[in-house]
Amino acid sequence: MSKADWTIRIVTLETDINRRAPLLRRLEELGLAYELSFGFDGRTGCTPDMEARIDRATAERRRRRPLTDAEFACALSHRHIYEIIIARDEPGCIVLEDDAQVGPAFASFVRSGAYRGYPMLLLDYGAAYVWPAPRPLGQRLMAHRLAQTPGLATGYTLDRSAAQALLRATNPVCDVADWPMPLERLGAALVAPRIVGHPAPGVLSNIDAGRLAMKLQSRPKSKARYLTAAYWRWRWAKRRGLHFPIGPAVTD
């Protein structure tokens, strides 16, 4: 089994053996080594240790609704990845959530080492805006630099500098895992076509049900946002960037 330059780390819970089994089996079929990163479990509430690392008030202000304990736990679990990179003085790593779907295109990308030239690459993503002039990654893949940050943290790469920036942005955790800061500030890019997939709509993750309930408590957007530099940066990027159509992930 081959080992990538950067470790493939799978964000999972220690008890979620059945949930991660398909991904582990697929990685073994592809001949890729991996490491499990056991995260925080917020399904039964946050422990005192978890509470010490989060800021509920700021999170509610940012999202205009309370975040669930499971959402905080997910963010803490991804934060743990950033901590590992820094603590072990690694150049970076490849991150997969335990329900990620991968195939030969992902394996070829891993073996190519193309991730080494970027601070962060999103391998799965939601609706996105990108800047023109994409760069080839080889293996018929292209890197499109982000104009705006999309959702989803199913699969991504990050180098040490990106890990440091994300670690600062999550001290304390005051936002969801995807993402605690605008990734375009890191020079992040998305990979097209997507080489990591996620479960089809309708398949609820560990945090989806609670998140849907909390969204019913969302407050309306404040008109004060029009006075912020962040809002006008967002508007400018949306007007100047290119809307990126999300095609199917290449996982077969």
Instruction: Give 157-195 pLDDT, tens digit per residue.
Output: 999 999 999 999 999 999 999 999 999 999 999 999 999
Buried/exposed code over 70-103 (b: 16+ C-beta within 10 A; e: otherwise): bbbbbbbbbbbbbebbeeeeeebbbbbbbbbbbb
pLDDT in tens, 14-55: 999 999 999 999 999 999 999 999 999 998 999 999 999 999
pLDDT band of 219, cuts 50, 70, 90: low
pTM of this prediction?
Answer: 0.87
Domain for residue 43, yes or no? yes
Assess if residue 130 is contained within a domain.
Answer: yes
What is the distance between the alpha carbons of residues 210 and 216, in angstroms, rounded to a whole number?
10
DSSP conformational letter for 136:
E
**Does residue 17 lie within any of the structural domains?**
yes
Residue 237 — very low, low, confident or very high, per pLDDT cuts 50/70/90?
A: low
Number of domains in the chain: 1
Q: Give the model's pLDDT for residue 252.
A: 81
The answer to whether residue 70 is domain-embedded is yes
Residue 2 lies in a domain: no
Q: What is the CATH number of the domain that holds 173?
A: 3.90.550
In a domain, 249, yes or no: no
The answer to the question of residue 202 being in a domain is yes
Domain ranges, residue 146? 7-244
CB hemisphere CA count around 150 (13 angstroms): 28
